Structure 1
Amino acid sequence: MWALRRHANPLSVKLRFRGLGIGTYHACCAKAEVSSSSGSQEEATSIFFSKSYHTGGSVRNLLHHQTLNVDSEFSMGRRGLSSQAGAESSGREDDDDLEDGFSELETASGGVPDHGNEDELISEPELSDVDNDGNEDPSALESLETDAGGKKYHKTKAYSEIFKVIISSPGDPVHVALDKWVGEGNEVSRDDCQVALFLLRKRRMYGRALQLSEWMEASKKLDFGERDYASRLDLIAKVRGLPKAQYYLENIPKSMRGEVAYRTFLANCVRASNVGKAEETFNKMKDLEFPVTSFACNQLLLLYKRLDKKKIADVLLLMEKENVKPTLFTYKLLIDTKGQSNDITGMDQIVETMKAEGVEPDFDTKAVLARHYIYGGLKEKAEALLKEMEGGNLKENRVACQFLLPLYAMLGKVDEVKRVWESFEKGPRLYECMAAIEAYGKLGKVDEAEAVFERAVTTFKKLSSRHYSALLKVYANHKMLAKGKDLVKRMGDSGCRVGPLTWDALVRLYVEAGEVEKADSILNKAAQQNQVRPLFNSFMAIMDQYAKRGDVHNAEKVFHRMRQAGYFGRHRQFQALIQAYVNAKAPAYGFRERMKADNVFPNKTLASQLGLVDAFRKTAVSDLLD
């Protein structure tokens, strides 16, 4: 763990380690100029702070509720987590496929991390095992995968009569459909209800899942246990937001309001990027004397990776003091954080530490490494890693295919993409088809991407909107508006329910075609008609275009709609909005106060932008005129 903390920032000075008798340590984040995947402007980050602490006293509430300034004292007394420290940018905005992607990499071992950036409340029924960012989706609670006796449900073979009733009655409230079904003499079992909840969550039909949970309790046919309450809490957070979820948490029977419920709420706070509420919940868990777990610490690491990288070292310090071992997910977060800062050496050091601790990187971790090697211009190193992932026999190592295809495409290796795809072309799996569509799209091979899509259509009985969206994204990236419209019509004719992923692809399609107002209208209507929250990136694609135009009025409207949808407290939003004022050459009154109200503190980019729109900014000319 000490090695991890030493590498938690891109540069570290030499340290003297004497067990727990650690003196002062210094951690700094090197200035990195890293171009984003879209070629956006580079940003440099710099952090330097030092801490001193002694080993006496309680370790509870370790992280002090104050800004982490240089040479601030760091006593091990009873302290709270800080939400005041200024967040620093990673130096490269995550590309669309990585937006908030890590929140959902860790399976819910009693907690409920949800998909991130991926950010719908209720969505189209999809059978894919991945979230919106291409990462494993563990949105279901452990209680949804196991019954009271600990039996695991098989994800592909799970069957439920109750689920069948709900799906076959889309126009009726769940309680109406189920009351009628029970009235016909059918019996309700816990096993059937749990499988139904699992399948609804898997399709991200959170609204229907919440109605089922409410019916289960109201019907008095099943006794609610701790995990049932935690599951309901998670669904309320997804569908109705954190305030309603917190109210529900506070009213769960005390005997059932245990660690599972609190860490479920913590994960949803992190999902919403609500720093203050997440830290408050973490401290509440410590006050209730719940053990400090790797799950809770990983949630904080995820939160600070997004919003305040300076505090990652503090969480690692807490984990070391509480003897909490880092998990595979911990290492993934740290590797990605280093990679975003373009600190390849630090990233490799974390991998070495990881292996030394007996934790082997999985394919997803290696894919994260390869992406950062490519971004960093180390193409030979990336290609060597891909060959390692491929192994001696690709057919025996087939699971690597879904990672290799898009990564070879990022390297511009057309022949390698073709070779990997052709090795499974005669009997492809659906996720391999999606990876091939993405890869050919990155390479500009639209015809090949279309051919793979048609192969998927003929091979599999029915595609979901997620699979249509893969090709739709290719059309958007190549400004093929007419083909995109035809695909959407075909999608509607097939009976697919359109959700946030499809809206996102449509928004990008129209934005790339220069029809920003149309994209804005589509997103607004879709959200109102379906009462579903669009993706964060969908809003930003539109807001960025208004900012480029200097259209302050429409940029403010999008900013307001994002807040209504629950997206707030992120630097990215404020950067786009301020840029609208900059391009319009208009003063922005009270902007610092607006940011402070959202607990957002200027990083280097924001500070420079604020200087340009400060209505009271003094210049040499203004001083002469005064």
Structure 2
Amino acid sequence: MNALRFSCRQLQQSGRATSKAITGVVSFSAYCRNRTSPPALSSASPDSLASRVWRSGHPSISIVEVIEQWLDEAKQVKQSELQQLIRDLRRHRRQHQALQLSEWMRDQSCYNDSPGDIAVRLDLISKVRGSEQAEQAFKAIPENMRNFQVYGALLNCYSRKKCVEKAEATMDKMRELNFLKAPLPYNVMLTLYFHTNNHEKLDALVKDMEENGIACGIYTYNIQLNAYGATCRFQEMEELLGKLERDTVVTVDWHSYFVGASAYLKAGEKEKAVAVMKKLEGLVTHNSKKFCYEVLITLYANAGDLEQVCRIWDLYKQMGKIFNSGYLCMISSLLKLDEIAEAEKVWEEWLLKKRLYDIRIANQMVIGYSRKGLWRKAEALVSQITENGGNPDGVTWNCLAVGYCVGGKMDDAVAALKEAVTVKMPVGHKLKPETRTMAACIEHLKSQGEIEAAEEFLEKVAENCHFPVAALNRLAGYLKDESQNVLPLDEMGADMPTLGDEETAQEP
């Protein structure tokens, strides 16, 4: 039965079909991808189920009530519509609602749960509830439903959690079941080996692909390029790039050149990096302009070339529409080049032209000021955020705390950092406080005799933030050690706030 009709709603009310409230998700789209691209949000009709979901408010809000209200009005919804909506929710990072919808659909007697649906749900469970819950969910799946997609979702779960042994065991099982006929599972393992620095295993797996006649696609080649660049194997990287350029089946893409240029810059080989960047620019197409120009701006900033940064920015602006991500990229690059005055000009331009207030851009300016100890400017900008249509988030206060700390305003630094830890972050995101600033604030509290307040603060950090456990333990030990009056800040790490991971963009 393809549509959920009113009769199915009556079954629900009589108890023969159930709905369960759930918690959150995203997807393993590579294994479960539908060939039809998801529609733009604006394509939803004024009164469609999709439009009601998008208007339902914060992504953490349950959409089960939205669906049930739709059914109460005796309206229909096809399974294909629900599957499309799940894809759209995942694409727009509304993970909780996507999982709610997936599990609700599973619990309806009117729908057939396909292996593809199961694979998507398994991946979502792993991202929301963890790998152990995903394992339990996998064990409950009937053997006859555990196809390539389902095992692929489990493999991806282990890869994401960097569980090498479990991923290898899953890969062996897929080999036993004759599921290794495509490059995708190999690419998942190659990515895992790259991120866990198992470069010998990575090379061996590439050889295994070749021996088994598994064609390498551009993704496989790019993983290899990343591995060669990370280990400074430049000759092999150059040979692979040359092979790609000569390949008549696989077409080299801008990402391949980005990897090569980044590796050269990291090694201090600026001339070689610039040569590769020129090749990257030669691959810019109408559809790739936005991404390529943003990448080139970042690369030239890393190369210390302000002139080229401005040249690419001019090309970017010729597209007609400047995205928030473009402003973010340009401001970040100018700050990296110590061009604060130029960054301020771009910031003012964005304030005049913005459609949606993107707190990431404001945060980039705040941390730019803060790293220079310009806490007054940082403070003034934070006070203007609300006036300009935004809301300071945890990252904002974290960045401001850095400025206060650099400027020696330790009471204010402590207050700002406490605010950062207290402010609620988007669902699925946690603040990453800057380690040295955290250490300096704890040292200051101890010097003021506020040991209890410092300990309570560390408890909140442990509960609400992503913060190294070793660093937390060291700070806690420092508070208890009466003989230690000065904390060796240089040993606490020199990281700076990471802008982007903690927050969800409001516009591309």
Judge same fold: TM > 0.5, yes or no.
yes
What is the DSSP-based 3-state SS (H/G/I as helix, E as strand, rest coil) of the residue aligned with 2:304?
coil
2:329 is equivalent to residue 435 of structure 1: yes
Look up the match of 1:107: none
Contact 1:504/1:534 (8 A) holds in 2: no
Amino acid at match of 1:433: Y
What is the DSSP-based 3-state SS (H/G/I as helix, E as strand, rest coil) of the residue aligned with 2:87?
helix
Look up the match of 2:56: 169
Look up the match of 1:532: 428
Task: State TM-score, norm by structure 2.
Answer: 0.71
Contact 2:253/2:283 (8 A) holds in 1: no
1:366-405 matched pairs, under 5 angstroms: 366-391=257-282, 398-399=289-290, 400-405=292-297
Contact 1:227/1:261 (8 A) holds in 2: yes
Amino acid at match of 1:420: I
Look up the match of 1:141: 29
Deviations 1:82-118 (A, max 9, x none): xxxxxxxxxxxxxxxxxxxxxxxxxxxxxxxxxxxxx
What is the DSSP-based 3-state SS (H/G/I as helix, E as strand, rest coil) of the residue aligned with 1:345?
helix
| Higher helix proportion (structure 1 or 2) | 2
Contact 1:158/1:195 (8 A) holds in 2: no
Distance 2:423 2:173 in 1: 38
Q: Which runs of 5+ in 2 are unaligned?
A: 1-22, 445-450, 482-508
Contact 1:233/1:249 (8 A) holds in 2: yes
Contact 1:511/1:542 (8 A) holds in 2: no
The structural deviation recorded for 1:558 is: 8.0
Contact 1:547/1:580 (8 A) holds in 2: no
Amino acid at match of 2:321: P
Contact 2:367/2:403 (8 A) holds in 1: no
The structural deviation recorded for 1:404 is: 1.4
The structural deviation recorded for 1:388 is: 2.7
Distance 1:184 1:200 in 2: 23
| Compared CA separation, residues 394 and 208, structure 1 to 2 (3 A) | closer
Contact 1:328/1:361 (8 A) holds in 2: yes
Task: State TM-score, norm by structure 1.
Answer: 0.59
Look up the match of 2:356: 462
1:138-287 matched pairs, under 5 angstroms: 141=29, 146=34, 150-154=35-39, 159=44, 161-170=48-57, 173-287=62-176
Identity %: 23
Distance 2:149 2:308 in 1: 46
RMSD of aligned alpha carbons: 4.3
Contact 2:257/2:276 (8 A) holds in 1: yes
Look up the match of 1:406: 298
The structural deviation recorded for 1:578 is: 10
The structural deviation recorded for 1:226 is: 1.4
Distance 1:229 1:497 in 2: 38
Distance 2:200 2:283 in 1: 41
Deviations 1:194-248 (A, max 9, x none): 3322222122121111111122222334322111111111111111111111111
Deviations 1:7-44 (A, max 9, x none): xxxxxxxxxxxxxxxxxxxxxxxxxxxxxxxxxxxxxx
Look up the match of 1:5: none
Distance 1:545 1:566 in 2: 12
Distance 2:376 2:50 in 1: 38
What is the DSSP-based 3-state SS (H/G/I as helix, E as strand, rest coil) of the residue aligned with 1:423?
helix
Q: May I ask how many residue pairs the two structures share in their alignment? A: 436
Look up the match of 1:331: 221
What is the DSSP-based 3-state SS (H/G/I as helix, E as strand, rest coil) of the residue aligned with 1:415?
helix
Q: Which runs of 5+ in 1 are unaligned?
A: 1-120, 124-137, 587-626
Distance 1:324 1:559 in 2: 51
| Compared CA separation, residues 286 and 179, structure 1 to 2 (3 A) | same
What is the DSSP-based 3-state SS (H/G/I as helix, E as strand, rest coil) of the residue aligned with 2:317?
coil
2:308 is equivalent to residue 416 of structure 1: yes
| Compared CA separation, residues 546 and 316, structure 1 to 2 (3 A) | farther
Contact 1:548/1:580 (8 A) holds in 2: no
Distance 1:517 1:451 in 2: 31
Look up the match of 2:504: none
2:203 is equivalent to residue 313 of structure 1: yes
Look up the match of 1:109: none
Contact 1:305/1:333 (8 A) holds in 2: yes
Contact 1:475/1:483 (8 A) holds in 2: yes
Distance 1:299 1:559 in 2: 37
| Compared CA separation, residues 222 and 479, structure 1 to 2 (3 A) | farther
Amino acid at match of 2:165: G
Distance 1:565 1:268 in 2: 23
The structural deviation recorded for 1:507 is: 3.6
Deviations 1:431-486 (A, max 9, x none): 43333222222222234334334444544532444555554554455455555556
What is the DSSP-based 3-state SS (H/G/I as helix, E as strand, rest coil) of the residue aligned with 1:324?
coil
Distance 2:252 2:419 in 1: 41
Contact 2:414/2:441 (8 A) holds in 1: no
1:462-611 matched pairs, under 5 angstroms: 462-466=356-360, 468-472=362-366, 474-475=368-369, 477-481=371-375, 483-484=377-378, 503=394, 506-511=397-402, 513-514=404-405, 521=418, 524-525=421-422, 532-534=428-430, 538=432, 541-542=434-435, 546=439
Look up the match of 1:361: 252
The structural deviation recorded for 1:522 is: 5.3
Amino acid at match of 1:195: Q
Contact 1:547/1:581 (8 A) holds in 2: no
Distance 2:333 2:394 in 1: 21
